[in-house]
């Protein structure tokens, strides 16, 4: 496992301390989970941009159009 050190604004540091105290969560665990979630969102958006031209050629206009087709 790698260690990452990041600077935090005072307000963020206070919010982190308060939250981890209330929830009995380790700050490192919270940071790992947050980074994992954020990276998943960024990767999804990256994939969406990659496939968007092909999907539009197939006649799909929105994500919802694709989801409707998948539910059938």
What average pLDDT score do residues 55-68 get?
88
Residue partners of 4: CB distance under 8 A and separation at least 6: 31
- Judged against a pLDDT cut of 80, whether residue 24 lies above it is answered with yes
Residue 20: both structure tokens together? 């981890």
Confidence of residue 1 (pLDDT cuts 50, 70, 90): confident
Averaged pLDDT of the chain? 94
């Amino acid at each position: 496992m790698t260690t990452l050190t990041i600077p935090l604004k005072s307000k963020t540091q206070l919010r982190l301390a308060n939250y981890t105290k209330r929830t009995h969560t380790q700050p490192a665990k919270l940071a790992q989970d947050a980074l994992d979630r954020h990276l998943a969102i960024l990767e999804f958006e990256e994939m969406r941009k990659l496939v968007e031209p092909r999907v539009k050629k197939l006649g799909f206009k929105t994500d919802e159009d694709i989801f409707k087709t998948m539910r059938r």
